[in-house]
């Protein structure tokens, strides 16, 4: 990890859906950990990616605003994370294009891996798009949970809890994934 990727700080905080955490550098948000049951698990995930010699720096204003925004999102509020600065140093051009296209999806808006690849200028690379999203260091801010498999299926999710977490996040945004509920066939009179 070079100096430009060194984390300037991190924070772990509790939300209504579990403990979450963020890490940041001078350039922006470098890591976001989705909900886990305990603080230690989040702390371990953050520190696994942090520089060994982190120097404590004052928390930037955008971090002070981001934490309550994440808590509001976890409580079911419509939050727009598109203005959060992100540090994607070391990320290749393909992933940058995919992440940029994903950031344009709003609360409750979904698309497929194939369509996102097309929007990013890489039509036909749905599998590669899925792999890029699986390596997303800042889920939620880069809303990879809003990308579905062909046919509206849930698809994979590399965060703790896997596809079940993805489905819960989408449900919080009012998106129902999967087959429609069966129609009522009889009133039972």
Rg of the chain in Å (alpha carbons): 18
Report strand pairing: 29-36 vs 18-24.
antiparallel
CB atoms closer than 10 angstroms to residue 182:
6
Both tokens assigned to 73: 């999102």
Task: Return the ∠ at Cα 32 (arms to 29 and 35), rounded to 5°.
Answer: 155
DSSP states along 13-49:
EEETTEEEEEEE-SSSEEEEEEEESSHHHHHHHHHHT
Q: Residues 144, 147, 169, 172: which is the catalytic one?
A: 144
- Cβ–Cβ < 8 Å for 112, 148: yes
Query: CA–CA separation, 171 vs 71, rounded Å?
Result: 16
How many angstroms from the chain centroid is the CA of residue 184? 36
Examine the residue annotation and report whether 33 is marked as an active-site residue of this protein: no
Please list the active-site residues.
144
């Amino acid at each position: 990890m070079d100096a430009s990727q060194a984390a300037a700080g991190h924070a772990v905080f509790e939300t209504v859906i579990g403990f979450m955490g963020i890490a940041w550098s001078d350039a922006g948000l470098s890591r976001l950990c989705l909900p886990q049951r305990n603080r230690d698990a989040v702390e371990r995930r953050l520190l696994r990616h942090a520089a060994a010699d982190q120097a404590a720096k004052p928390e930037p204003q955008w971090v002070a605003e981001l934490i309550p925004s994440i808590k509001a999102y976890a409580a079911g509020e419509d939050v727009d994370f598109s203005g959060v600065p992100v540090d994607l140093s070391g990320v290749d051009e393909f992933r940058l294009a995919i992440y940029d296209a994903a950031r344009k999806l709003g609360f409750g808006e979904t698309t497929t891996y194939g369509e996102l690849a097309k929007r990013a200028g890489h039509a036909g690379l749905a599998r590669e798009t899925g792999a890029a999203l699986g390596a997303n260091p800042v889920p939620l801010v880069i809303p990879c949970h809003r990308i579905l498999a062909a046919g509206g299926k849930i698809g994979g999710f590399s965060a703790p809890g896997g596809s079940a977490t993805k489905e819960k996040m989408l449900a919080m945004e009012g998106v129902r994934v999967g087959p429609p509920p069966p129609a009522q066939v009889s009133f039972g009179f």
